[in-house]
Amino acid sequence: MKDDQRRHPLRDAHTDITSVESVPDTAQTRAPAYRLAFTDNEFMCRDELRPVRLQLELLKPEMMLDAEGIVSTIVLFGGSRIPEPAKKDTARTKTLAELSHFYDETREFARLMTLKSRDSGGKEDVIVTGGGPGVMEAGNRGALDAGGHSIGLNIVLPHEQAPNAYVTPELCFNFHYFAIRKMHFLMRAKAICVFPGGFGTMDEMFESLTLIQTGRMQRVPFLLFGKAFWQKIINWDALADAGTISDEDLDLFRFVETAQEAMDLIDNWGTPTTRDSIPGR
């Protein structure tokens, strides 16, 4: 958080927290009612306090990212189950093993983008992932390969809730609310890259596309890694043919296969073109 040099005559909250810890042990001081409201976990978790918890999850990462001077991010979405190639023999399916090369492409893309980020002192184009394993791990790892920092937006789950070892510790956040977490992914997004994944990846991808489609978010480079995978999973043209989306909506994203191709497309995203001549379609 930013250092606040203002002086005021009121006693600060930290002092009172310390003071309460040293009060005499009595029936009154042990009672839940006596706890300071903001240190009372049972109180803070009441249903009536949900709006406060939502606000806190919005504020904490925002304030800490501001304090670090992070201006813009490159968002990486992708599957937690995609292994690095060296471990593909342990993949649960043949398809996951075949998709393992996207671990390396994610890692290389994050490395290249982080090298580019040096021009801004590491404040622009900072890699952000969900902080977990698979593609997320590869993204944070690539940023570290380049000697830079990266953000991890983790979430408490019954499994894989520990962040990967490559997230910058000072930029590693944990969430309870999926909705607030997804807001933080997009609030500083300068580009969005989506790698093969499952329900979570598709949820993030379609929400982002919907925000851009409906004008709730400015258009940014939107890249889908792995054309064969995404065209097999989703019949994009069928949606347009049915009229449930417009033909122009198919131009909101591009398909790419490699890290370098993604870098080139991001650098040239604003170049006027027609649908038939768009690289990656």
Q: What is the pLDDT of residues 233-267, one digit of tens each?
A: 999 999 999 999 999 999 999 999 999 999 999 99
Above 70 in pLDDT, residue 160? no
Residue-level pLDDT at 278: 39
Query: Residue 12 — very low, low, confident or very high, per pLDDT cuts 50/70/90?
Result: confident
Cβ within 8 Å of residue 19, ≥6 positions away: none
- In this prediction the pTM is 0.90
Farthest-apart Cα atoms in the chain, separation: 77
Q: What is the pLDDT of residues 86-101, one digit of tens each?
A: 999 999 999 999 999 9
Name the residue with tokens 């240190």: 39
| pLDDT higher at 203 or 278 | 203
Domains in the chain (CATH in brackets) are: 70-277 (3.40.50.450)
How large is the average pLDDT for residues 58-79? 97
Q: Are strands 172-175 and 189-194 parallel, antiparallel or unpaired?
A: unpaired
How large is the average pLDDT for residues 267-280? 57
Above 70 in pLDDT, residue 30? yes
- Angle of the 178-187 helix axis to the 50-67 helix axis, nearest 10: 30
Residue-level pLDDT at 275: 36
Q: How far is the CA of 91 from the CAs of 20, 54, 76, in angstroms?
A: 52, 37, 21
Above 50 in pLDDT, residue 276? no
Q: Tell me the pLDDT of the chain averaged across its residues.
A: 92
Residue-level pLDDT at 24: 92
Above 50 in pLDDT, residue 1? no
C-beta of residue 153 within 8 angstroms of C-beta of residue 175: yes
Residue-level pLDDT at 6: 67
